[in-house]
A and B are shown apart, each in its own frame.
Chain A
Amino acid sequence: MYTTSKLKRFASLIAVIALMFFSSFAMAFEGDAKNGRKLYKQNCASCHKLDKKLIGPALSGVTEKYSEDWLLKWIRNNAELRASGDEDAIAIFEEYNGSVMSAFPALSDQDIFDILQYTIDGDPKPIPTPGNLSEVAVAPSKDYSKQILIGLGLLLFLMISLLARMKNTLRLVNGQDPVSIIDEAGWFWGRLINNKVFVTLATIIVTVAFLNQLYWFLMSIGVEQNYQPEQPIAFSHALHAGENQVDCNYCHSSARHSKHSGIPSANVCMNCHMYVDGTEIIDDAGNLKYEGERSPEIAKIYAAIGWDAEERQYIEGYEQQPIKWVRIHNLPDLAYFNHSQHVNAGQLECQECHGPVETMEEMYQYSELTMGWCINCHRETEVQFEKNGYYQDFHEELTEKYHGEKITAEKIGGLECGKCHY
């Protein structure tokens, strides 16, 4: 999460002013480093880093070397600039062995200024905080219900004692012997357990309650709703699917074609993580999460596939280690489930069964995955007849048969045993 404190803004302002004084080129632009960071991640990060060479040069301090005009031209279309015979441009091109940088004609001047601002400011630095202020500041909220209950209990006890005392006083007044509260309770209990109606009722209530509990306990066996095992890599769906809006099908590509949704192989991770290695991840407090180091979680992918992050190449002859994920959604073997049937033919959203995955830091089983749950959905979900040539004849036949009722999966045989059990 990217947050900027006022202090930080002030610091960057000072830095900008300082840079304006000391840099060899007087920078006349004003950029928003926050927007610049976003644009940088989208457009530049796959080839550039701030502090070291990647495919292209390190960008920190680039504004000191080149003029604002020149940078605008270079970034927008470097090929054109080279074609115009600009010596600096050709020099860079040759320095990097003729690797061509993409043109970014879509970036506005302000966008480029924002990016340049970011190259000056860099990532937000950790802010020193004196002591653990936050912990002191936030008092833990308390739950008083226990104390209230104890108080009420004491009150009740006091009142019963008072009542007993009053009764005994009355008895003394009437010339009778006082009766202790325990004897009284014993007498009451004796009446109670000799009352057949009470005993019968109590037995029935207790038995029914017990059987009810037993039933629900037995029914819960094998239902692993909310199962959230620890995974070998602390992968966050909230970050990938939520914040970064990566489509589910990008990683789980076989969900459209196959019965399995498929866990992405490490080479799919590498499509992004060849460039995104976690050095720039910022935590909620606005600090660099790994203090500029590579994320240890992402490093696990590198260890699996054999990627040398320093040399930026795959290690030859590396003995690859598959990542052993813990399977969360386990259907029994006797039930056949096909993802493509639901995702492709049924056009269901992944979230219908898997819940709000895009908000899950750690993946868990959202649905019951019981047969009752399946059946219920088949009873309620309408068949996606539209634009599917397969149904072109059946749709009419079924509409006629069911007199225009909505046609659910049930009505095309979605509840038949053999459709899932074979």
Chain B
Amino acid sequence: MTLKIVDGMENKKLCLIMVTEDERDKCFLTQKLTRYMGWLAIRCKVFKDRDIQGIEIKFDDLVTNVCEWFKEEHTTVAILDLENIKLSDGPKYDSIFRRDHIDTLFVEYIGDEANQDTLSTPLESITSNKELTDPLSYVVLRKESKDILVNKVENYLQTRIIFYVLNINMENKSIWLSRHGESVFNLEEKIGGDSSLSPRGQKYAQLLPDLITKEIGESPLIVWTSTLRRTQETAKYLPYKKLAWKALDELDAGVCDGMTYKEIEEEYPEDFKARDDDKYQYRYRGGESYADVVNRIEPVIMELERQENVLIITHQAVLRCIYAYFMNVPQGESPWMTIPLHTLIKLTPTTDGVKVTRIKTDIPAVSTYKEKGSSDITSNPSNLSSKYANILEEVSTIQKI
């Protein structure tokens, strides 16, 4: 959700302490949690016990670093990514941070068989009284059985993080994103509406099954569309299970639905300018803002974390929000990213970050990118209003990670 949600949490400080045997798992989880904090607009930082050169940072120094950081404004969550954490040290960490009014939450991801020296006892014997007086707050995720154990969770922020963890799928998988094929309204430079595909858009729909099959072969896939005609027509030839989500519908332009940017500029000049000034927060008359879209797609994002391979066919604004979630793009920048038509984007989460691959088809399509301060549609954004404006230009650098 958005910034508003964390209001009133200003005084809450939380230290997440990651406990896993497997370095790769830890990176993966840490990265996901960092991304989720970004999505909630919660200020978060990862602390490691090795510096860039790999030299160990002493425990006392690390604690000092964390506590110093928490003195800065709006700092809310520190994630401790330590190389060798002994679980018997749990209470020590807890009491050190508690002195500075910082709550702790241990996040343990561990194989079902590995029971020795963990925070938790085997799940079966959990109802003994000793366990219930256990003062630490923790969540344990079992690798194979996917069992989850939650102990002593006291505040909203902790429950929110565990809610997210409940949805995480640690398997390797990819997510494909595509806008619908070129629509009749795209050709007419109109926004919104519920028009059908143009002939070129239909060609893209026919090509899509081959494109996807080449990518995933025999692997299973599920296709999500919005409830609007142009996304369902685009998915028409795909031989996979399809689900339509109302939450994936295009940003509602309210009274401007079905107008061109030129018409909007003429009829609602003040609105036109207001939107360019703060595109993330601007809400169309009777319609939505990007912030609204981010709010309403939370269930979709959670389901995405849970699912195996997914192809999402949706709309420009919604794709920008989903892309921003995976790529940690700041909220204010996301509305200015270019996401061209007839292009398939593949996101693969890895331990170092999300890898992006672009698969551009040779079916031509109009551009729908409106530059800041003008009602012109352009295929070559010139006065880029943000470094994220042309995400696809950045592909090569992102891939290198």
**Chains A and B are bound partners:** no
